Amino acid sequence: MTQIKLNSNYKTEMINITSKISDEVMKLGIRDGLCTVFTPHTTSSIVLFEKTDPKLRRDFLASLSKIAPANRDYESEGDNTPAHIKSTLCGPRIVIPVKDGQLYLGQWQSIFFCEFDGPRDDREYIIQVINS
């Protein structure tokens, strides 16, 4: 299991972490199995998403903000209720097959860390690869 730290720069953003995960899979030397990527934070997520069009990422974040807008009157205390809702909708983890020592991703897929309560200097995600 590997823990990787990262910093976010904006209130909401999607950070492509595919290369770091791919490097870790190669370092571990596992030929075939499953790679789990997990974030232990309740205001961030890990998602598979389209990698080439940054406008699509902005559209995705804007759509989530319509579901959980910042300007709504929430019953809970604090100002990060929308971040908790977005994180729950997107989920804290993904699982990707590993085949021949490589992440088995679709042509347009990448792995993103989604920040919903940034900017933060103390974010992390965990990679665990299981041999099959």
Helices and strands: H and E segment counts in the chain: 3, 8
Domain boundaries, the chain: 2-131
Return the CATH fold of 2-131: Jelly Rolls (2.60.120)
Note the pLDDT tens digit of each residue in 13-53: 999 999 999 999 999 999 999 999 999 999 999 999 999 99
**pLDDT value for 56:** 98
Q: Which of 100, 85, 86 is nearest to 33 (CA)?
A: 100
pTM, two decimal places? 0.96
Note the pLDDT tens digit of each residue in 54-85: 999 999 999 999 999 999 999 998 899 999 99
Q: How far apart are CA 112 and CA 51, in angstroms?
A: 9
Residue 116: which pLDDT band, with cuts at 50, 70 and 90? very high
- Segment 3-13 mean pLDDT: 98
Q: Which two tokens stand for residue 25?
A: 């899979």
